[in-house]
């Protein structure tokens, strides 16, 4: 009988996110720069009766007050943990008999990659628990089929550049740890909705032509371990459409920049914003400015593995 397995599911932020051309299958190609955070969910897997059973528990954490760490997470077949378990068992040709306990500390719909990290934790945990797997390449392909953030979440890299739908990864050294402030509003932003807003904006700007955002030559990988270089390439194509629908987020980003954050960005398709600070005093002073108006997490970037 296989032993239960616990796997950490780390949050991420995007230090760069360009949405490029739309592929023939309707998916958008991406160019993004991921940074892993210490903030995490936890997934516990154990042998169970035939089928899949998923239990979700909300646990205390820096963002637990955001109100979307447990209640908003689906319990059934639409949950990414469930989908990851199904995909894994199809790949190895076995019927699932699995209990999944998901301990949520990350809010849903915030752009912090919680659902993707949970799915990657299921893939990794099943490989450990069963002692078998479809192989590293097939496991990464399964991750890419589940979502564009899942391959990075499955990797061990503290930071990475990613292209296509997140399935082409260039692991990078992490920049030095710095104080970071994460702001999570009361509302979520659905990824599909953010893409629709972006496509509508681009179609209107181009007279009906769905024009993609452009990529440009990035610094070498070793220079991307420098916060100064990272600030120079930080951009998120979702900011304009998401800010247009949620103007408060634009105001909060301006406040982060005014408080000294470099960079300050929307993470993923939102709704969370983050700001990276040179020192804890700056970060803590900024946190006081936002206290009581939205959920605030005061922490550090993960730093080198």
* Contact status, residue 271 vs residue 186, Cβ threshold 8 Å: no
73 three-state secondary structure: coil
Q: Which of 105, 40, 38 is nearest to 302 (CA)?
A: 38
Q: Which of 188, 23, 173, 170 is nearest to 106 (CA)?
A: 188
Burial class of 9 by CB neighbour count within 10 A (0 to 12, 13 to 18, 19+): buried
> Could you tell me which residues come within 8 angstroms of residue 211 by beta carbon, excluding any fewer than 6 positions away?
202, 205
Among residues 12, 41, 118, 237, the one annotated as catalytic is: 12
Is there a cis peptide before residue 271, judged by omega within 30 degrees of 0?
A: yes
- How many DSSP H helices and E strands does the chain contain? 9, 10
Active site residue 99: no
CA distance 184 to 108: 10
Among residues 41, 118, 149, 237, the one annotated as catalytic is: 149
**Phi, psi values for residue 229, rounded to 5°:** -65, -40
CA distance 102 to 248: 32
Here the tokens at position 202 are 């681009």
Largest CA distance in the chain: 61
Active site residue 12: yes
Question: Would you please indicate which residues are annotated as catalytic (active-site) residues?
Answer: 12, 149
């Amino acid at each position: 009988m296989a032993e239960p397995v616990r796997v950490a599911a780390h949050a991420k932020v995007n230090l760069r996110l360009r949405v490029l051309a739309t592929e023939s299958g309707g998916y958008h190609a991406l160019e993004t720069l991921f940074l892993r955070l210490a903030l995490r969910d936890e997934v516990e897997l154990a042998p169970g009766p035939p089928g899949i059973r998923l239990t979700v528990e909300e646990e205390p954490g820096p963002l637990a007050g955001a109100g979307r760490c447990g209640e908003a997470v689906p319990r059934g077949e639409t949950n990414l943990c469930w989908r990851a378990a199904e995909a894994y068992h199809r790949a190895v040709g076995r019927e699932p008999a699995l209990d999944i306990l998901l301990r949520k500390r990350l809010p849903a719909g915030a752009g912090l990659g919680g659902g993707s990290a949970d799915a990657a934790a299921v893939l990794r945990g099943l490989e450990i628990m069963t002692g078998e797997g479809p192989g590293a390449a097939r496991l990464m392909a399964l991750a890419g089929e589940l979502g564009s953030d899942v391959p990075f979440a499955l990797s061990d890299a503290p930071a990475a550049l990613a292209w296509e739908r997140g399935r082409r990864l260039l692991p990078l050294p992490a920049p030095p740890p710095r104080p970071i402030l994460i702001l999570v509003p009361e509302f979520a932003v659905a990824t599909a909705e953010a893409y629709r807003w972006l496509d509508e904006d681009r179609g209107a700007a181009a007279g009906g032509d769905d024009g993609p955002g452009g990529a440009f030559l990035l610094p070498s990988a070793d220079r991307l371990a420098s916060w100064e270089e990272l600030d120079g390439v930080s951009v998120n194509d979702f900011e304009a459409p998401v800010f247009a629908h949620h103007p408060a987020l634009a105001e909060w980003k301006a406040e982060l920049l005014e408080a000294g954050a470099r960079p300050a960005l929307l993470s993923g398709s939102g709704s969370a914003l983050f700001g990276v600070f040179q020192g804890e005093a700056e970060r803590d002073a900024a946190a006081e400015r936002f206290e009581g108006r939205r959920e605030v997490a005061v922490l550090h970037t993960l730093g080198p593995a």
